Amino acid sequence: MTAKTTLIQLNHKIGTFENLNKHLVLVLQDCLMEYMRHEFQFEHLSGGLIGDSMHFHIYSLEQQENLSYRLNLAVRYSTDAMGVATSLGLQADSNLTLDYIINMLETKLSSQTLLTI
């Protein structure tokens, strides 16, 4: 559930980051990313390109000989807004025009709900 919720939130927010020419970095532990790769479509991710707006930094937690733990950067991936949507299996464009939204709403209005003077 955590993985899907995270991806849905990323899908809603990454367009704003792209419009502002900013990058969003999500830091994950390797076991969560492994689960996400198994449950969702992540084959299209590239190896951390600077121009992409969405970056995934995957860390592994390793126990040292002295029984302490250490985080190690395992791998970096990146994609754009379309890539985040693809990972969820979405194919629709989330950038709807105002005319499209108005047309959708008007088709749902009946004569009883229209204001007549």
Average confidence score pLDDT of the chain: 86
Question: pLDDT at position 50, please?
Answer: 86
Q: List, for residues 25-60, the tens digit of each pLDDT value.
A: 999 999 999 999 899 988 888 888 888 999 999 999
Domain that holds residue 8: 2-92
d(CA 65, CA 91): 48
Report how many domains make up the chain. 1
Is residue 116, in this structure, part of any structural domain at all? Answer: no
Residue 36 in domain: yes
What's the pLDDT score for residue 92?
A: 52
* pLDDT (mean) for 61-80: 92
* Sheet bearing 54-63, strands edge to edge: 24-29, 54-63, 69-79
pLDDT band at 68 (very low <50, low <70, confident <90, very high): very high
Q: Is residue 105 part of a domain?
A: no
In a domain, 97, yes or no: no
Judge whether 109 lies within some domain.
no
In a domain, 101, yes or no: no
In a domain, 11, yes or no: yes
Residue 95's pLDDT band (boundaries 50, 70, 90)?
Answer: low
Rounded Cα distance, 13 and 94, in Å: 11
* 24 vs 52: CA distance, rounded Å: 9
Least confident range of 6-10, 17-21, 40-44, 109-113 = 109-113
The reply to whether 65 falls in a domain is yes
Please, are residues 56 and 6 in contact by the beta-carbon 8 Å criterion? Answer: no
Quickly state the pLDDT bin for 94 (edges 50, 70, 90). Answer: low
Tell me the pTM: 0.70
* Residue bearing the bigger pLDDT, 95 or 70: 70
- For residue 70, which phi and psi values (nearest 5 degrees)? -140, 135
User: In the numeric block, which tokens belong to residue 89?
Assistant: 């299996």
